[in-house]
């Protein structure tokens, strides 16, 4: 079951959640942005080794600690790996004071009704059991909304909460992530539909069932304030969704009670060929700015 200290930190602590969970499809892009081209590796094992090295460098940086980084989301291979001989989730909590989460989805299905639901996860129970054994506090799973289609958005939210209840059954806290694509023309309309669907699902949860929500920064400031205040919501976090760090921080600062859970916006400006001093300085500045935006709301 969830550690009481982790629960308190995840529920109340200042800071944000670092998203270090790029998986197979998004890893090459993450490495390219980090200055590692595709000719630097010849197979998946080498690729995942390089991305683990990048994540380990971030986690070991002096600025990456629980003072401002409340939690971190890991990819399964990162969870299965070590940092300086210590299992990653254990290192995060015991050495950094950062709550560990695990990405559990297996990617997106083909688009239907303007959305992409998650692919089936037949081995989810086994993965959740492993996560509990490794000291993981919660999970994250992502769907994508590409249009203000009520049927599609309803399907996304229903699936997210159905799987969320399965995750709760293992004593883990699910981060439910129905991402709205930032470039669509009807983004504001999609967000209004999404809000209603999420409220309906939250109201159906038991009093002791707590979830977290990871949502695209909305067009209307404070659109999700009622979700922040909902008794079944432990935290509402924001994804950067392709916005630059500057724009993501600006949007976040206008949304009361939301904190960041940024991936690309967190690692923006980091490079494999940076000396440690430059790398640590850049990461520290990123962490400071994201934390300030999380507090500003």
CA atoms within 13 A on the CB side of 62: 8
Q: Choose, from 68, 103, 140, 177, the residue flagged as catalytic.
A: 177
Quote the CA–CA distance of 72 and 91 in Å, as a whole number.
Answer: 12
| Alpha-carbon distances of 71 from 111, 139, 156, 160, 285, rounded to whole Å | 31, 11, 25, 21, 18
| Alpha-carbon distances of 226 from 30, 32, 40, 257, 258, rounded to whole Å | 34, 39, 47, 10, 11
What three-state secondary structure class fits 208?
Answer: coil
What residues form DSSP beta bridges with 239? Answer: 216
95 is catalytic: no
Quote the CA–CA distance of 174 and 159 in Å, as a whole number.
Answer: 13
Q: Choose, from 68, 103, 210, 214, the residue flagged as catalytic.
A: 214
177 is catalytic: yes
- Of the candidates 118, 106, 211, the one whose C-alpha atom is nearest the C-alpha of residue 156 is 118
Report how many helices (DSSP H) and strands (DSSP E) the chain contains, helices first.
Answer: 12, 11
Cβ pair 99, 93 in contact under 8 A: yes
Quote the CA–CA distance of 156 and 175 in Å, as a whole number.
Answer: 14
Active-site positions read 177, 214
């Amino acid at each position: 079951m969830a550690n009481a200290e982790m629960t308190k930190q995840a529920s109340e602590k200042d800071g944000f959640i670092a998203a270090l969970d790029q998986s197979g499809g998004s890893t090459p892009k993450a490495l390219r942005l980090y200055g590692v081209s595709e000719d630097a590796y010849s197979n998946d094992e080498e690729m995942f080794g390089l991305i683990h090295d990048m994540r380990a460098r971030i986690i070991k940086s002096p600025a990456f600690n629980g003072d401002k980084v409340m939690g971190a989301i890991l990819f399964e291979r990162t969870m299965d790996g070590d940092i300086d001989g210590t299992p990653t989730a254990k290192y995060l909590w015991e050495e950094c004071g950062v709550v560990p989460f695990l990405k559990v989805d297996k990617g997106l299905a083909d688009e239907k009704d303007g959305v992409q639901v998650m692919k089936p996860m037949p081995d989810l129970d086994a993965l959740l059991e492993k996560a509990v054994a490794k000291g993981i506090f919660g999970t994250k799973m992502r769907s994508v909304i590409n249009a203000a289609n009520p049927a599609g958005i309803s399907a996304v939210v229903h699936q997210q909460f159905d799987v969320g209840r399965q995750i709760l059954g293992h004593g883990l806290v699910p981060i439910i992530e129905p991402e709205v694509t930032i470039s669509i023309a009807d983004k504001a309309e999609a967000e209004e539909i999404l809000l209603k669907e999420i409220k309906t699902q939250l109201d159906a949860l038991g009093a002791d069932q707590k979830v977290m929500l990871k949502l695209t920064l909305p067009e209307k400031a404070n659109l999700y304030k009622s979700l922040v205040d909902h008794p079944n919501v432990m935290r509402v976090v924001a994804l950067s969704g392709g916005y630059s760090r500057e724009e993501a921080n600006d949007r976040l600062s206008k949304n009361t009670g939301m904190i960041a859970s940024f991936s690309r916006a967190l690692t923006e400006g980091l490079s494999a060929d940076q000396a440690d001093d430059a790398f640590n300085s850049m990461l520290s500045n990123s962490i400071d700015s994201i934390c300030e935006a999380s507090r500003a709301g």
